[in-house]
Amino acid sequence: MELRWLEDFIVLAETRHFSRAADQQNVTQPTFSRRIKLLEESMGATLVNRQTLPLSLTPAGEEFLILCKQISERVRVTRERLKNLDREDARRVKLAAPQSLVTHFVPAWLEANAISQQVEPYLRATGWLIEDYFHALERGEVDLALCYWPQGRTALDLDLTGVRYLEIGEERLVPVSVANPGGQPRYALPGDKRSPLPHIAYHSGGLIAAALQAHWTRSRQEVHLSTLNESVQTSNIRELVQQGYGLGWLPWRTVRQLLETGDLTRAGDQRWDVSLSLRLYFRHDSRHPSLAGLLTQLSAAHR
């Protein structure tokens, strides 16, 4: 059974005439008559009394007409709701961000700026490398990209043509390790050449790895590490560090509570911390209907 057959039947019940009903439905009368016949066969009952003039509905037809109108109304209402949802979705701004920010920063930031209904975190982006964010901005897959950003120069070669940013916060990477029974870090910086410290690292092609290397170079800190594992996601690094496999640099927001409870301890003092900015990138030529107003609101909030 097709939905248009129900619409045909409603029109036929209103006009009481096959020819006029066919005209109203923009089909030929033979086609219209065939569709009504197929509807009757599908229902297993005669719905139209063709012996009267004007034609009339049988008792089964009268009962079926009630159902047709109910279904037709539900479909109409649902169609309208779906259109509204599409319009609302088109107005929502897609935000790409690393997993650690999606978990530990974005919800409170959206709430504080009263933009939870306007901005939708794009969860496919939680495992991206830094260049993936800018490629997604360029092709319009996302509208905003929230990234950690080093406060000094790094060796990353990124094409930032056509993008701008707002600074919306700060973060710092802190070196952490599990503690030994005496409360001291099991893996304490800087390590030594003969016994380098096991390092649970960020992906070597990512921004955080580059920021760490740049920090060590600028500060002339000699560090002896042996990379055991690389990951894009902070949660993976934190889990391996908590299991005692090695030390790692993690965003303060993600380990603050663990440091307070003693589940982790610092692997080095504040000289080893790496300061980061939180940058919200966007394309200046974006045509998203809601983005300009949102950026104006955020610019005023973060001055």
- Domains of the chain and any CATH numbers: 3-89 (1.10.10.10), 93-297 (3.40.190.290)
C-alpha to C-alpha distance for 67 and 123, rounded to whole angstroms: 42
Cα 91–chain centre separation: 14
pLDDT attached to residue 244: 96
pLDDT attached to residue 1: 66
State both tokens at 107: 């919800």
In total, the chain counts a number of residues equal to 303
Q: How far is CA 227 from CA 1, 9, 86, 177, 230, in A?
A: 64, 72, 47, 14, 7
Q: What DSSP line would sit under 73-98, residue for residue?
A: HHHHHHHHHHHHHHHHHHHSEEEE--
Cα 111–chain centre separation: 16
pLDDT attached to residue 88: 53
pLDDT attached to residue 133: 95
What's phi and psi for 288, nearest 5 deg? Answer: -60, 130
- pLDDT by residue for the chain (303 residues), tens digit each? 688 889 999 999 999 999 999 999 999 999 999 999 999 999 999 999 988 888 999 999 999 999 999 998 888 877 877 766 555 556 789 999 999 999 999 999 999 999 998 999 999 999 899 999 999 999 989 999 999 999 877 767 788 889 999 999 999 999 999 999 988 999 999 999 999 999 999 999 889 999 999 898 888 888 999 999 999 999 999 999 999 999 999 999 999 999 999 999 999 999 999 999 999 999 999 888 889 999 999 999 887
Contact 210, 155 (CB under 8 A): yes
Contact 293, 119 (CB under 8 A): no
